[in-house]
Amino acid sequence: MTSLLVAIAFLTRLPVPLSPSVDARAVGRASLWFPAVGLLVGGLEAGGAWLLVQRLPDTIAATLVVALGVLLTGALHLDGLADTADGLGGGKDREQALRIMREHTVGAYGAAAIVLSIALKIAVLGTLTMLGPQGLRWIVLAPALGRWAPVLLGRALPYARSEDGLGRAVTGGAIGGLELGGSTAVALGASALLAGWNGAIAALLALVATTLFGLLCRRRIGGVTGDTLGASVELVELAVLVAAVGLR
C-alpha cells in the first residue's frame, strides 16, 4: 500500500499521507503501480466526461476534461514534453540538449509541443465522448498505457545526466524485474479488460511508440531524464487516444 501511495504522490497532485523518509528507491519500487495510477487518473477523467456531456457540448466537455487532467497531474508531463521538445529540437549536441532541458524558460519548440498536445487531446476526447461507454473506456485506458512507458524506458536506458535529477529515481537499476513485470501485467490486463483485442493493438502501439522514443533519446542524449520520461507519458497517451478513434 505504501508503494501505491508513493506512486500517486509522484505522478499526481492528489493529497496522500506519506512518511518524510520516502526516498528515490521507494519511487523506483513504486513504479510497479504507475499504470494503476494512470487508471485512477483516467477513471477520474472519464467520470468527469460522463457528467459533463450530460449538459455541455462535446468540445466544451473535452476541454474541461483536459483541464481536469492538467490539474490532477500538476502539468508534470506537459512540462517534461515542453522541455524535451526544446532540448531535442534546439540542442545541436548532447550537452546543449541537456542544458536546454534544465532551463526554466519555455522556447518555441516547447510551446508548440504543449499547444499541439492539448489541441489534439481536446479533439480526440471530443470524439470519444460521443461514443458513449466505449469511448469512456478508452479515456480510462490511455493514461494507464502512457504511464507504462516510463517504466519500460527506466528499465531499458541509463540516466543521461551525471548529476542527480528526478529521472534517476526510476533509472540506473531502480526498476527491478518485479516492478517491470507488475506494471506490464497491469497495463496489459487493463488493455484486455477495457478494450479486448483493440486493447491488445493499443498496447502494442504503446510499446512501439515507447521503443521509438527511447531510441531517439539514446541517440540524442545517451539515455533518459526526468523530462524525457514525462514526455513519454504524454506522447504514448496521445498515440493511444488517436488509435482509439481509428479503432472505434
Collapsing DSSP states into helix, strand and coil, what is residue 224?
Answer: strand
DSSP 101-155: HH-SS--HHHHHHHHHHHHHHHHHHHHHGGGTHHHHHHHHHHHHHHHHHHHHHHH
Question: In the prediction, which pLDDT does 168 show?
Answer: 74
Q: Mean of the per-residue pLDDT values for the chain?
A: 92
pLDDT interval class at 19 (50, 70, 90):
low
Amino acid at 167: G
CA distances from 211 to 108, 151, 156, 170, 220 (A): 26, 12, 10, 17, 14
Q: How confident is the model at residue 165 (pLDDT cuts 50, 70, 90)?
A: low
> What is the per-residue pLDDT for 82?
96
Closest of 247, 245, 248 to residue 126, by C-alpha:
245
Cβ atoms within 10 Å, residue 16: 12
* pLDDT recorded at residue 140: 97
Q: Is the pLDDT of residue 173 over 70?
A: no
First-to-last C-alpha distance (Å) of the chain: 36
Task: Give the pLDDT of residue 179.
Answer: 87
Say whether pLDDT at 29 is over 80.
yes
* Helix count and strand count (H, E) for the chain: 10, 0
3-state class (DSSP) for residue 158: coil
pLDDT band at 169; cut points 50, 70, 90:
confident
What element of type H or E holds 180? helix 177-221
Span 111-143, pLDDT tens digits: 999 999 999 999 999 999 998 999 999 999 999
**Taking 80 as the threshold, does the pLDDT of residue 99 lie above it?**
yes
- 189-247 pLDDT, tens digit per residue, is 999 999 999 999 999 999 999 999 999 999 999 999 999 999 999 999 999 999 999 98
Per-residue pLDDT at 174 exceeds 80: no
